[in-house]
Amino acid sequence: MKIIRSIVAMQAEARGIRQAGRRIGFVPTMGCLHEGHLALIRKARELADCVVVSIFVNPTQFGPQEDYTAYPRDLERDACLCSREGVEIVFHPDVAEMYPAGHGSVFVDEKELSAGLCGPFRPGHFRGVLTVVAKLFNIVQPDVAVFGQKDAQQARLVQEMVYDLNFPVQIVVMPTVREPDGLAMSSRNTYLSETERRQASCLYRALCRARELYDAGVRDSASLRAAMLATIAAAPAARVEYIEIVDVDRLKPLDVIAGKALVAICVRIGAARLVDNIVLDPSLCS
């Protein structure tokens, strides 16, 4: 397995791989890999001939009060996991390589799908995400890129970017991988104390409660939200940032659920800001 730190070298490598007729599968990450990432890597292996994983904690997607500095980093462990999963290249640039001084005035942004959910709480976040993903796509030149459903809004925005800007990349979104108690795998779970960790399963319990009511025929968002809030209230360390029920396409809030709906929740517990979601799909209704 190669570890590449330079953009020019990565682009040359990608060009060689593609000219040899091999398909590149790409998993962009911020490192601190967990089973969720590994599921993405395995999917990329399945869909492509050569898997590239990027490990880059992207400063431009963190707000000034956010956890950029604290974000966990462990390249050695990550490289070991990647190698074990058959990754061919780890792309691991430093910040000055990705954002050279005196440049960086051009950006990719969006104003509709990013207007709700995490958008208002993280100004500039999705601009940072879309810009770095556009950069990474141009550097790694993947045929297919795999994202996690846990960050549903991010995945939807990347899909829309690929569609709107015509990137020649197929986007695949994989289901959330969960701990035994239902907590979605996340690098940020490492911020939780033992007590906080126990309470963190409240996000998943709230989502399950929403699905239960939905399966019982409840379709108004206010009722689902109220039930979810009541579930979270049982976890004293949890402070709800938002609970939103939106359509899966344009992420617009729904008063009444008709088609496919995304139920998304964001809760702060201690130093961690945790997100999770489920999709309610009428065609799968029991």
Binding site for a second copy (CB under 8 A): 7, 11, 15, 18-19, 21, 103-113, 130-131, 134-135, 138-139, 141, 157, 160-161, 163-168
Question: Distance between CA atoms of 164 and 237, rounded to whole angstroms?
Answer: 41
Q: How far is the CB of 95 from a second copy (least distance, A)?
A: 14
Q: Residues 34, 37, 92, 125: which is the catalytic one?
A: 37
The maximal CA–CA distance of the chain, rounded, in angstroms, is 57
Minimum Å gap between C-beta 29 and a second copy is: 18
Contacts 24+ apart (CB under 8 A), 208-215: 208/182, 210/245, 210/263, 210/278, 210/280, 211/263, 211/278, 211/280, 214/257, 214/280, 214/285, 215/285, 215/286
Kindly tell me which of 36 and 93 has the beta carbon lying closer to a second copy. 93
Tell me, yes or no, if 92 is annotated catalytic: no
> Rounded to 5 degrees, what angle do the CA atoms 47, 278, 117 make?
100
Which residue's CB is nearer to a second copy, number 147 or number 167? 167
Q: How far is the CB of 40 from a second copy (least distance, A)?
A: 22
Rounded to a whole number of angstroms, the minimum distance from the CB of residue 137 to a second copy is 9
Alpha-carbon separation of residue 106 from 94, 132, 226 (angstroms)? 19, 11, 42
Name the residue nearer to a second copy (CB basis): 118 or 157.
157
Determine the Cα–Cα distance for residues 122 and 105; give it in Å rounded to an integer: 20
**CA separation, residue 24 to residues 111, 139, 163, 166 (Å):** 30, 12, 19, 17
Nearer to a second copy, 109 or 179 (CB): 109
Q: Bridge-partner residues for 170, per DSSP?
A: 144
Which positions are annotated as active-site residues?
37
